[in-house]
Amino acid sequence: MALTALAGSLTLLAQAPSTGGPVYSDSSTNLEKYLVPASGEEAAPDADGFLRRWLLLDPISKPNRSNTVFTDSYLREVFAVPYFRGQLGDVLPKDGSKIKVTVEYQPPVDLSGGRPMWSNEPVVYEKKVRKLQWHAFDSQRFNVKLFRFATNLTEDRYGVIFWAVTVVNCEEDIPNVRLAVGSNSASMWWVNGEEALILSGDRRMVADDGASRRLTLKKGRNVIWGAVINGPGMSDFCARFIDEDGHPVRNITLSTK
């Protein structure tokens, strides 16, 4: 499919952080500033190749009071937990579908409470079954602001795991590309069921913070899964494919089916 045919259905590019004039501050935090419902069957990556169409699951409560625990082995352990059917699979959940997950419950953050006085004593969290929903979004920015997804649609904001998935469609095999990701905080990424990248530790979201080994995007559908975990911090991620020269791969389309 020619990319020009998609242009009419894309509304994403104009909202990217400017690399020209001043970016005047804006205090609003409404969801539409960051994410809008996915529109159109397919979307193109933005001018810099960032993947903006994602299917996002409501955050899974996973209390962590510090991000320093996000070691490689910890990430492999928590992301190996089967949270939902089809996790890392080839068939994507449906937009709007809901799942039940047993989580360690955290009460909503009291924003008027100022800085919390945390105890060093271990906290025992009540286990609760929560109903979580999948949402198909187009990001208004190069990055996917998971934090504002959470604060606008859920009670959770810190101590959470986010699952994201998208489909990268290719008209032909595209060899020797890398998945380049930045995330806040730690994350793991899979391409067509294979682990592609892990970003461990207390991460800030930095564009192209880490990249996978060279891989081939095959003709047709390629399923990209990501999981981001955060303790106290503003969760988000950005992802794109880059070629051997570091240039963005743009001859692809994105969908959430």
Partner 1 sequence: MKHHLLLAGLGALIGLSAAAQVGAPYIHDPSTIMECDGKYYTFGTGGGGLISADGWVWNGGAVRPGGGAAPDAIKIGDRYLVGYSSTGGGLGGGHAGRILTMWNKTLDPNSPDFAFSEPVEVAHSEMDEDCDAIDVGFLMDDDGRLFCTYGTYFGNIRMVELDPATGGRLPGNKAVDVAIDCEASTMMYRDGWYYLLGTHGTCCDGVNSTYNIVVGRSRKPTGPFLDNVGRDMLRGGGKMVIAAEERIFGAGHFGRFIVEPGVEKMSLHFEADLDRSGRSVLAIRPILWKDGWPEAGELLKDGNYKILSRRRGYALELAVDFVRAQGGMRFWGRQDEPLVVLEGQKLEDVSADWPEGDIPVRANDYMARPHQKWTIEAVPEAGGYLGGPYYKIVIEGTGRALAAAEGAELVTVPAFTGAPEQLWQIDQLIDGTYRIMPKSIPGCGERLCLYSVADSTPTLSKFDFENDNAKWDLKLH
Q: Is the peptide bond before 25 cis (omega within 30 degrees of 0)?
A: no
Stretch that binds partner 1, among 83-91, 128-136, 230-238, 248-256 (CB under 8 A): 230-238
List CB contacts of 192: < 8 A, sequence separation 6 or more. 90, 218, 222, 223
CB of 222 to partner 1, least distance (A): 24
Could you identify the residue written with the tokens 């500033």?
33
Tell me the C-alpha distance between 147 and 185, whole Å: 11
Tell me the C-alpha distance between 229 and 61, whole Å: 10
Site for partner 1 in 174-193 (CB under 8 A): 182, 184
Contact status: 67 vs partner 1 (CB under 8 A): yes
Nearest to partner 1 of 83, 241 (CB atom): 241
From residue 8 to residue 27, what is the string marking binding to partner 1 with x (rule CB under 8 A)?
Answer: ---------xxxxxxxxx-x
Nearest to partner 1 of 184, 256 (CB atom): 184
Choice from 45, 49, 93, 233 touching partner 1 (CB under 8 A): 233
Look up residue 85 and give its two tokens: 């059917």
The Cα-based distances of 24 to 18, 20, 82, 236 in angstroms read 10, 12, 43, 21
From residue 129 to residue 168, what is the string marking binding to partner 1 with x (rule CB under 8 A)?
Answer: -------------xx-------x------x----------
Q: Is the peptide bond before 187 cis (omega within 30 degrees of 0)?
A: no
CB of 203 to partner 1, least distance (A): 9
Contact between 218 and 170 (Cβ < 8 Å): yes
Q: How many binding residues for partner 1 (CB under 8 A)?
A: 42
Contact between 209 and 182 (Cβ < 8 Å): yes
From residue 33 to residue 52, what is the string marking binding to partner 1 with x (rule CB under 8 A)?
Answer: --------------------
CB of 27 to partner 1, least distance (A): 4
Nearest to partner 1 of 151, 187 (CB atom): 151
Nearest to partner 1 of 8, 22 (CB atom): 22
The torsion angles phi and psi of 171, rounded to 5 degrees, stand at: -80, -20
The Cα-based distances of 52 to 12, 16, 80, 201, 238 in angstroms read 8, 11, 25, 24, 8
Contact status: 123 vs partner 1 (CB under 8 A): no
| Residues lying near partner 1 in the complex (CB under 8 A) | 17-25, 27-29, 66-68, 109-116, 118, 142-143, 151, 158, 182, 184, 201-202, 204-209, 232-234, 238
